[in-house]
Amino acid sequence: MKAPPRLQSLVDEGLIDTVVRQLMSGKEAMVYVVRCGEETRCAKVYKEADKRSFRQAVDYTENRRVRNSRETRAMAKGTRFGRQVTEAIWQSAEVDALYRLAAAGVRVPVPYNFLEGVLLMELVTDANGDAAPRLNDVAFTREEAVQHHASLLKEVVRMLCAGVVHGDLSEFNVLLAADGPVVIDLPQAVDAAGNNHAKRMLLRDVENLRNFFGQFAPELLGTHYGDEIWHLYERGLLRVESVLTGTHARDTGPVDLGNVLREVDDAREQEAARRLRMQLPRL
Protein backbone atom coordinates (compact mmCIF):
# COMPACT_ATOMS: atom_id res chain seq x y z
CA MET A 1 0.00 0.00 0.00
CA LYS A 2 1.02 3.63 -0.41
CA ALA A 3 2.89 4.96 2.60
CA PRO A 4 0.68 7.24 4.76
CA PRO A 5 2.05 10.79 5.08
CA ARG A 6 3.15 10.22 8.69
CA LEU A 7 5.29 7.24 7.63
CA GLN A 8 6.91 8.92 4.66
CA SER A 9 9.73 10.40 6.75
CA LEU A 10 10.76 6.90 7.86
CA VAL A 11 10.69 5.75 4.24
CA ASP A 12 12.85 8.73 3.26
CA GLU A 13 15.30 7.93 6.06
CA GLY A 14 15.53 4.32 4.88
CA LEU A 15 14.10 2.96 8.13
CA ILE A 16 11.11 1.49 6.30
CA ASP A 17 11.15 -0.06 2.83
CA THR A 18 7.44 -0.67 2.28
CA VAL A 19 4.15 -0.38 4.13
CA VAL A 20 2.31 -3.71 3.90
CA ARG A 21 -1.06 -2.90 5.49
CA GLN A 22 -2.83 -1.21 8.35
CA LEU A 23 -2.96 -3.55 11.33
CA MET A 24 -5.27 -1.73 13.71
CA SER A 25 -6.63 1.63 14.76
CA GLY A 26 -6.80 2.41 18.47
CA LYS A 27 -7.73 5.20 20.80
CA GLU A 28 -4.32 6.84 20.61
CA ALA A 29 -2.57 5.51 17.51
CA MET A 30 -2.74 3.64 14.24
CA VAL A 31 -0.49 0.64 13.70
CA TYR A 32 0.88 -0.54 10.35
CA VAL A 33 2.75 -3.66 9.27
CA VAL A 34 5.94 -2.61 7.48
CA ARG A 35 8.92 -4.23 5.83
CA CYS A 36 12.44 -3.27 6.88
CA GLY A 37 14.91 -5.17 4.75
CA GLU A 38 14.27 -8.85 5.37
CA GLU A 39 12.26 -8.21 8.54
CA THR A 40 8.57 -7.52 9.09
CA ARG A 41 7.95 -4.99 11.84
CA CYS A 42 5.18 -2.65 12.92
CA ALA A 43 5.00 1.13 12.98
CA LYS A 44 2.85 2.83 15.61
CA VAL A 45 1.71 6.26 14.42
CA TYR A 46 0.50 8.37 17.32
CA LYS A 47 -2.61 10.40 16.73
CA GLU A 48 -2.53 14.11 17.43
CA ALA A 49 -3.97 15.08 20.80
CA ASP A 50 -7.17 16.55 19.34
CA LYS A 51 -7.81 13.43 17.27
CA ARG A 52 -7.68 10.75 19.94
CA SER A 53 -9.91 9.83 22.79
CA PHE A 54 -7.44 8.95 25.53
CA ARG A 55 -7.25 11.74 28.10
CA GLN A 56 -3.77 12.59 29.35
CA ALA A 57 -4.92 12.53 32.96
CA VAL A 58 -2.80 14.42 35.47
CA ASP A 59 -2.44 11.17 37.44
CA TYR A 60 -0.38 9.70 34.59
CA THR A 61 1.69 12.78 33.77
CA GLU A 62 2.59 13.57 37.37
CA ASN A 63 6.35 13.88 37.88
CA ARG A 64 7.22 13.53 34.19
CA ARG A 65 10.21 15.72 33.55
CA VAL A 66 10.58 18.62 31.13
CA ARG A 67 13.85 20.14 29.98
CA ASN A 68 13.50 23.68 31.29
CA SER A 69 11.28 26.21 33.05
CA ARG A 70 10.09 27.69 29.75
CA GLU A 71 8.50 24.38 28.80
CA THR A 72 7.00 24.05 32.27
CA ARG A 73 5.38 27.50 32.03
CA ALA A 74 4.10 26.83 28.51
CA MET A 75 2.54 23.55 29.60
CA ALA A 76 0.88 25.21 32.59
CA LYS A 77 -0.55 27.99 30.41
CA GLY A 78 -1.75 25.58 27.75
CA THR A 79 -0.12 27.50 24.91
CA ARG A 80 0.38 25.93 21.49
CA PHE A 81 4.03 25.33 22.30
CA GLY A 82 3.03 23.94 25.69
CA ARG A 83 0.63 21.49 24.08
CA GLN A 84 3.38 20.38 21.70
CA VAL A 85 5.73 19.79 24.64
CA THR A 86 3.05 17.85 26.51
CA GLU A 87 2.40 15.70 23.45
CA ALA A 88 6.10 15.01 22.92
CA ILE A 89 6.51 13.96 26.56
CA TRP A 90 3.45 11.71 26.30
CA GLN A 91 4.75 9.94 23.21
CA SER A 92 8.32 9.58 24.46
CA ALA A 93 7.00 8.03 27.69
CA GLU A 94 6.14 4.82 25.83
CA VAL A 95 9.49 4.76 24.05
CA ASP A 96 11.37 5.24 27.32
CA ALA A 97 9.24 2.59 29.06
CA LEU A 98 9.75 0.07 26.24
CA TYR A 99 13.53 0.41 26.29
CA ARG A 100 13.60 0.30 30.09
CA LEU A 101 11.37 -2.76 30.32
CA ALA A 102 13.00 -4.62 27.44
CA ALA A 103 16.35 -4.18 29.18
CA ALA A 104 14.79 -5.59 32.37
CA GLY A 105 13.60 -8.70 30.53
CA VAL A 106 9.90 -7.80 30.48
CA ARG A 107 7.93 -9.33 27.62
CA VAL A 108 7.27 -6.22 25.53
CA PRO A 109 7.77 -5.59 21.80
CA VAL A 110 11.39 -4.80 20.98
CA PRO A 111 11.67 -1.07 20.12
CA TYR A 112 13.88 -0.14 17.16
CA ASN A 113 13.44 3.58 16.49
CA PHE A 114 11.31 6.62 17.23
CA LEU A 115 11.05 9.44 14.71
CA GLU A 116 8.54 12.29 14.36
CA GLY A 117 5.75 10.66 16.32
CA VAL A 118 6.24 7.16 14.87
CA LEU A 119 7.48 4.23 16.93
CA LEU A 120 9.08 1.41 14.96
CA MET A 121 9.08 -1.87 16.86
CA GLU A 122 8.84 -5.64 16.72
CA LEU A 123 5.74 -7.22 15.20
CA VAL A 124 4.42 -9.71 17.76
CA THR A 125 3.21 -12.86 15.98
CA ASP A 126 1.27 -16.04 16.73
CA ALA A 127 2.24 -19.64 15.96
CA ASN A 128 1.33 -19.14 12.29
CA GLY A 129 3.46 -16.04 11.88
CA ASP A 130 0.42 -13.76 11.72
CA ALA A 131 -0.08 -10.69 13.88
CA ALA A 132 -0.84 -11.90 17.41
CA PRO A 133 -4.38 -11.35 18.72
CA ARG A 134 -5.28 -9.39 21.84
CA LEU A 135 -6.35 -11.43 24.86
CA ASN A 136 -9.84 -10.00 24.42
CA ASP A 137 -10.13 -11.78 21.08
CA VAL A 138 -9.31 -15.23 22.49
CA ALA A 139 -11.31 -17.75 24.53
CA PHE A 140 -9.36 -19.83 27.06
CA THR A 141 -9.74 -23.10 28.90
CA ARG A 142 -9.50 -22.94 32.67
CA GLU A 143 -5.95 -24.30 32.56
CA GLU A 144 -4.87 -21.77 29.92
CA ALA A 145 -6.41 -18.91 31.90
CA VAL A 146 -4.55 -19.89 35.07
CA GLN A 147 -1.30 -20.27 33.15
CA HIS A 148 -1.52 -16.92 31.34
CA HIS A 149 -2.69 -15.12 34.48
CA ALA A 150 0.36 -16.40 36.36
CA SER A 151 2.62 -15.46 33.47
CA LEU A 152 1.31 -11.90 33.38
CA LEU A 153 1.62 -11.50 37.14
CA LYS A 154 5.31 -12.28 36.70
CA GLU A 155 5.52 -9.53 34.08
CA VAL A 156 3.77 -7.09 36.44
CA VAL A 157 6.30 -7.97 39.14
CA ARG A 158 9.21 -7.66 36.71
CA MET A 159 7.92 -4.24 35.60
CA LEU A 160 7.56 -3.06 39.19
CA CYS A 161 11.05 -4.30 40.03
CA ALA A 162 12.20 -2.10 37.13
CA GLY A 163 10.30 0.80 38.71
CA VAL A 164 7.42 0.92 36.24
CA VAL A 165 3.65 0.52 36.58
CA HIS A 166 1.77 -0.01 33.30
CA GLY A 167 -1.23 2.06 34.38
CA ASP A 168 -3.68 0.75 31.79
CA LEU A 169 -3.08 -2.99 31.76
CA SER A 170 -6.05 -5.07 30.62
CA GLU A 171 -7.04 -7.74 28.11
CA PHE A 172 -6.91 -5.03 25.44
CA ASN A 173 -3.24 -4.24 26.05
CA VAL A 174 -1.79 -7.74 25.97
CA LEU A 175 -1.07 -9.75 22.83
CA LEU A 176 -0.99 -13.56 22.81
CA ALA A 177 2.21 -14.45 20.98
CA ALA A 178 3.24 -17.96 20.00
CA ASP A 179 5.28 -18.26 23.20
CA GLY A 180 2.91 -16.48 25.58
CA PRO A 181 1.52 -13.04 26.48
CA VAL A 182 3.30 -9.81 25.48
CA VAL A 183 2.49 -6.49 27.14
CA ILE A 184 1.85 -3.51 24.83
CA ASP A 185 0.64 0.13 24.90
CA LEU A 186 2.74 1.95 27.47
CA PRO A 187 2.34 5.74 26.94
CA GLN A 188 0.52 5.96 30.26
CA ALA A 189 3.22 4.05 32.18
CA VAL A 190 4.25 5.74 35.42
CA ASP A 191 7.32 5.73 37.63
CA ALA A 192 6.46 3.60 40.65
CA ALA A 193 8.55 5.62 43.08
CA GLY A 194 7.81 9.08 41.68
CA ASN A 195 4.05 8.99 41.13
CA ASN A 196 1.65 9.28 44.07
CA HIS A 197 -0.99 7.26 42.20
CA ALA A 198 1.27 4.32 41.32
CA LYS A 199 -0.19 2.01 43.97
CA ARG A 200 -3.77 2.62 42.86
CA MET A 201 -2.80 2.01 39.23
CA LEU A 202 -0.92 -1.18 40.07
CA LEU A 203 -3.88 -2.53 42.01
CA ARG A 204 -6.20 -1.69 39.13
CA ASP A 205 -3.90 -3.35 36.57
CA VAL A 206 -3.82 -6.57 38.59
CA GLU A 207 -7.57 -6.40 39.20
CA ASN A 208 -8.19 -6.10 35.46
CA LEU A 209 -6.18 -9.26 34.84
CA ARG A 210 -7.98 -11.07 37.66
CA ASN A 211 -11.42 -10.13 36.37
CA PHE A 212 -10.65 -11.08 32.79
CA PHE A 213 -9.09 -14.48 33.47
CA GLY A 214 -11.62 -15.05 36.24
CA GLN A 215 -14.24 -15.48 33.54
CA PHE A 216 -12.50 -18.73 32.58
CA ALA A 217 -11.07 -19.70 35.96
CA PRO A 218 -13.49 -18.47 38.68
CA GLU A 219 -11.11 -19.37 41.51
CA LEU A 220 -8.94 -16.40 40.46
CA LEU A 221 -11.69 -13.96 41.45
CA GLY A 222 -10.97 -14.49 45.13
CA THR A 223 -7.26 -13.65 44.90
CA HIS A 224 -5.52 -10.46 46.07
CA TYR A 225 -2.23 -10.47 44.20
CA GLY A 226 -2.17 -6.70 43.72
CA ASP A 227 -2.18 -5.96 47.45
CA GLU A 228 0.44 -8.63 48.04
CA ILE A 229 2.73 -7.33 45.28
CA TRP A 230 2.55 -3.73 46.48
CA HIS A 231 3.02 -4.76 50.11
CA LEU A 232 6.29 -6.46 49.17
CA TYR A 233 7.35 -3.57 46.93
CA GLU A 234 6.87 -0.76 49.43
CA ARG A 235 8.87 -2.71 52.01
CA GLY A 236 11.73 -3.33 49.59
CA LEU A 237 11.10 -7.08 49.56
CA LEU A 238 9.77 -7.56 46.03
CA ARG A 239 12.02 -9.58 43.74
CA VAL A 240 11.51 -10.99 40.25
CA GLU A 241 11.65 -14.46 41.78
CA SER A 242 9.26 -13.64 44.66
CA VAL A 243 6.73 -16.41 45.26
CA LEU A 244 3.20 -15.00 45.43
CA THR A 245 0.27 -16.60 47.24
CA GLY A 246 -2.63 -14.39 46.14
CA THR A 247 -3.61 -13.76 49.77
CA HIS A 248 -3.14 -10.55 51.72
CA ALA A 249 -4.69 -8.97 54.80
CA ARG A 250 -6.24 -5.71 53.64
CA ASP A 251 -5.60 -2.46 55.49
CA THR A 252 -8.53 -1.65 57.77
CA GLY A 253 -7.47 1.94 58.49
CA PRO A 254 -9.47 5.13 57.75
CA VAL A 255 -11.05 5.32 54.28
CA ASP A 256 -9.45 7.83 51.89
CA LEU A 257 -12.56 9.38 50.35
CA GLY A 258 -10.58 11.19 47.67
CA ASN A 259 -9.05 7.92 46.55
CA VAL A 260 -12.47 6.25 46.47
CA LEU A 261 -13.81 9.01 44.23
CA ARG A 262 -10.81 8.64 41.94
CA GLU A 263 -11.54 4.93 41.68
CA VAL A 264 -15.14 5.70 40.70
CA ASP A 265 -13.96 8.15 38.03
CA ASP A 266 -11.38 5.63 36.77
CA ALA A 267 -14.03 2.93 36.54
CA ARG A 268 -16.26 5.20 34.46
CA GLU A 269 -13.41 6.11 32.13
CA GLN A 270 -12.34 2.49 31.78
CA GLU A 271 -15.85 1.43 30.87
CA ALA A 272 -16.07 4.20 28.26
CA ALA A 273 -12.68 3.15 26.87
CA ARG A 274 -13.75 -0.51 26.83
CA ARG A 275 -16.84 0.30 24.81
CA LEU A 276 -14.78 2.33 22.38
CA ARG A 277 -12.28 -0.48 21.95
CA MET A 278 -15.06 -2.96 21.28
CA GLN A 279 -16.26 -0.71 18.46
CA LEU A 280 -12.82 -0.33 16.84
CA PRO A 281 -12.16 -3.04 14.24
CA ARG A 282 -8.91 -5.00 14.15
CA LEU A 283 -8.00 -4.90 10.50
- 214-241 pLDDT per residue, tens: 999 999 999 999 999 999 999 999 999 9
Q: Is 12 a catalytic residue?
A: no
Domain 5-274 has CATH 1.10.510: yes
Question: So what's the pLDDT on residue 167?
Answer: 94
User: Residue 180: left (phi > 0), alpha (psi -120 to 50), or beta?
Assistant: left
Evaluate whether 198 touches 169 at the Cβ level (below 8 Å).
Answer: no
Q: Is 96 a catalytic residue?
A: no
Is pLDDT larger for residue 75 or for residue 227?
227
Q: What's the pTM value of the predicted model, to 2 decimals?
A: 0.79
**Average pLDDT of the chain?**
83
- Which among 59, 96, 185, 227 is annotated as catalytic? 185
- Which among 59, 168, 191, 205 is annotated as catalytic? 168
Question: So what's the pLDDT on residue 117?
Answer: 85
Residue 156 has pLDDT above 70, yes or no: yes
Evaluate whether 215 touches 162 at the Cβ level (below 8 Å).
Answer: no
Least confident of 24-28, 242-246, 266-270: 266-270
Evaluate whether 244 touches 228 at the Cβ level (below 8 Å).
Answer: yes
The domain segmentation of the chain, as residue ranges, is 5-274
Question: So what's the pLDDT on residue 105?
Answer: 97
Average pLDDT rounded to a whole number, residues 48-65: 50
Give how far Cα 208 sits from Cα of 30, 64, 171, 211, 267, Å.
24, 25, 8, 5, 11
